[in-house]
């Protein structure tokens, strides 16, 4: 019972952290959580709208694994007492939310809507990831 409660509270806290990071970085497009969200939306929309060739989409998806790993690492550092499996479940919940958002936008507005076009754009993931990694480096004296 206690473990279930702790996991439930962790779920709420981490989803709030991910969602809060999304809200905070929506305009700045920085941070690993914002990059993760943008990547998931891009993969879902590009696949659903068939807007990218298969090789490009596979390459993007493969590179996206690095972003997902960083999200897992960040959540682990925010919640050091939690198991990696519990955190993976949280990431899965976030992916499901983002998939629903993209699918709803596509069904409501179609693949040619400006919002969906922005979602389905496969961006330079390596460059964005490098900027996230650089911005998260701290200097200690």
Q: Where are the domains of the chain?
A: 2-24+31-133
pLDDT beyond 50 at 109 = yes
> What would the pLDDT profile of 33-79 be if each residue is shown by its tens digit?
999 999 999 999 999 999 999 999 999 999 999 999 999 999 999 99
- What is the average pLDDT value for the chain, to the nearest integer? 81
Distance CA 49, CA 28 (A): 26
pLDDT beyond 60 at 91 = yes
pLDDT at 2: 46
Helix (H) / strand (E) element for 101: namely helix 84-109
How large is the average pLDDT for residues 79-96? 94
pLDDT beyond 70 at 20 = no
pLDDT category at 124 given cuts 50, 70, 90 is confident
Widest CA span in the chain: 53
Distance CA 90, CA 13 (A): 10
> What would the pLDDT profile of 128-139 be if each residue is shown by its tens digit?
888 887 765 443
pLDDT beyond 80 at 24 = no
How large is the average pLDDT for residues 70-99? 94
pLDDT beyond 70 at 81 = yes
> Three-state SS string across the chain, please?
CHHHHHHHHHHHHHHHHHHHHHHHHCCCCCCHHHHHHHHHHHHHHHHHHCCCCHHHHHHHHHHHHHHHHHHHHHHHHHCCCCCHHHHHHHHHHHHHHHHHHHHHHHHHHCCCCHHHHHHHCCCCHHHHHHHHHHHCCCCCC
């Amino acid at each position: 019972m206690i473990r279930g409660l702790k996991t439930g509270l962790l779920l709420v806290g981490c989803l709030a952290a991910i969602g809060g990071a999304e809200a905070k970085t929506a305009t700045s497009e920085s941070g690993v959580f914002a990059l993760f969200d943008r990547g998931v939306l891009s993969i879902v929309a590009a696949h659903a709208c068939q807007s990218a060739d298969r090789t490009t989409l596979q390459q993007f998806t493969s590179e996206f694994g690095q972003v997902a790993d960083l999200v897992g690492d960040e959540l682990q550092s925010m919640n050091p007492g939690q198991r990696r499996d519990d955190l993976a479940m949280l990431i899965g919940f976030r992916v499901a939310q983002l998939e629903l958002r993209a699918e709803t936008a596509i069904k409501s507005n179609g693949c040619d809507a400006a919002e969906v076009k922005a979602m389905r754009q496969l961006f330079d993931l390596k460059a964005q990831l490098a900027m996230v990694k650089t911005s998260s480096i701290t200097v200690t004296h």
